[in-house]
Amino acid sequence: MAHPPMSGPGGTAVAPAPTPVPTPVPAGTGARPPARRSAWSEGVDRLRAGATTEPGRLRIIGAALALLVVAFGAVTAWQVSGRAAAADDVVTSSQPLSADAASIYRSLADADTSAASGFLAGAQEPRSVTEKYEKDIAEASRLLVKAAANTEGSSASGQEIAKLNQQLPRYTGLIERARANNRQGLPLGGAYLRYANEQMTTQLLPAAKKLYDEETERLHRDYDEASAWPFVALALGVVALGALGWAQHRNYRRTNRVFNQGLLTATVASGAVLLWLVAGHAVASSGLDDSKAHGQESLKVLNDARINSLQARANENLTLVSRGAVTTADNKDKYDTDYTSNMAELVRRLGDAGRLADDAGGSAPVQQATAAVKEWKERHTAARVADDLGDYDQARDKVIGEKASTGQSFTEVDNALEKAVSWEQREFTEAAEGGRGALSGLAIGAAALTVLAAAAAVLGIGRRLAEYR
């Protein structure tokens, strides 16, 4: 559209000034907007800005208290759960497996003793002796199956179980050959019996002893884990209580209000968890320590004593079977020498068992066994005198006879030790279950109370924040 001419001074026409046209800016050369900062940097700045105001500080304090209390509860639940599981293993897994391993050893040793006793009786073994031998072999086989089901095959215990399962049929086969030859009156039966005893003492019993040692070591590891104090949880509990106390003191100094209901509730709940943790673990440790000192240790000594008595009895029988055919390097009867060593060890074990027994129920059977051992040794001496004088029949009667024989003394020792083992097993179970029960519910209770404490702390801080609105 054309603009009309304008009049200048003196009426002279002046052309209008042209409209300026903006100069285009080349692409890529214009000014750029400032770069956006990272979310982390912006968050830190907001936090710093908030920390300069009282509401901001309160929010930070509330979040820190909640986080600390929840961390305390989580660590408490985690550590207590591990110790409760270990205590449960002591009662239901490792100790029963250790006891089963001891029973495997005892059953094998008793079977060897019964086989030798039956052989001494002559071509026609007493039915009671044969049944006892078969019962021992069946019990050992049953316990090996049970142990295999609860043990990893690649572990040391699993390897010993496999060895026992492999060697046991060989042993029973040798015993059957010894019996068959003995029925026919062939002297080869004695050689088979000695070879079977050698297999038992050099293959089966050492493997059973290793199995027992492995399971007992596993039991001790469970004991250590269950009794270890949860120091991390205790430290967090103390820190959480200290932080809650500091927050309440700060609140009092700024408002002159003695109590903040939310923070007070959080403190009480956290204190209850810490107290429960200390008391529960103390009771659990006391119960487990008691079960170990007055139960498991006594059981170990008593099981060893029974094994010594069984080995002594087997060697006593084999002394008559071999008739001096097997000697030591100094030309003494090997089996009688081993008998003497077994009896000395048995006396030592009974002394240890008597010292460990803490009540009449445990000490009385040990005293009975000690008296029977003394009588056994006297009767054995009489049997050896008769055998040395060439009276084999009288010596045999003094060993396996129905009256005043070493066999009767051995039975009295074994029965007394069985009573002592049963008593100590009951003592162990009661003490260990008491220790395990002290940890029952602690993990769940700690988690619930600390969640309550965290919520109460946040609500308590929220009441203070509401005063700034």
45-92 pLDDT per residue, tens? 666 665 667 777 888 888 899 999 999 999 999 999 999 999 988 888
Q: What is the mean pLDDT of residues 276-294?
A: 89
Q: Which residues contact 78 (CB under 8 A, 6 or more apart)?
A: 233, 443
Per-residue pLDDT at 32: 59
pLDDT confidence tier of residue 36, bands split at 50, 70 and 90: low
CA distance 363 to 348: 15
Per-residue pLDDT at 77: 93
Per-residue pLDDT at 314: 85
Q: What is the mean pLDDT of residues 4-20?
A: 49
Q: Which residue has the higher pLDDT, 282 or 190?
A: 282
CA distance 133 to 251: 80
Per-residue pLDDT at 51: 60
From the list 116, 122, 112, 113, the residue with the least C-alpha distance to 183 is 122
Per-residue pLDDT at 8: 47
CA distance 20 to 8: 22
188-199 pLDDT per residue, tens? 888 888 888 889
pLDDT at 9 over 50: no
Q: What is the largest CA-CA distance in the chain?
A: 173
Per-residue pLDDT at 269: 94
CA distance 178 to 368: 35
Q: Which residues contact 204 (CB under 8 A, 6 or more apart)?
A: 108, 164, 167, 168, 171
CA distance 352 to 71: 48
Per-residue pLDDT at 469: 59
Per-residue pLDDT at 46: 66
335-355 pLDDT per residue, tens? 888 899 999 999 999 999 999
pTM exceeding 0.85: no
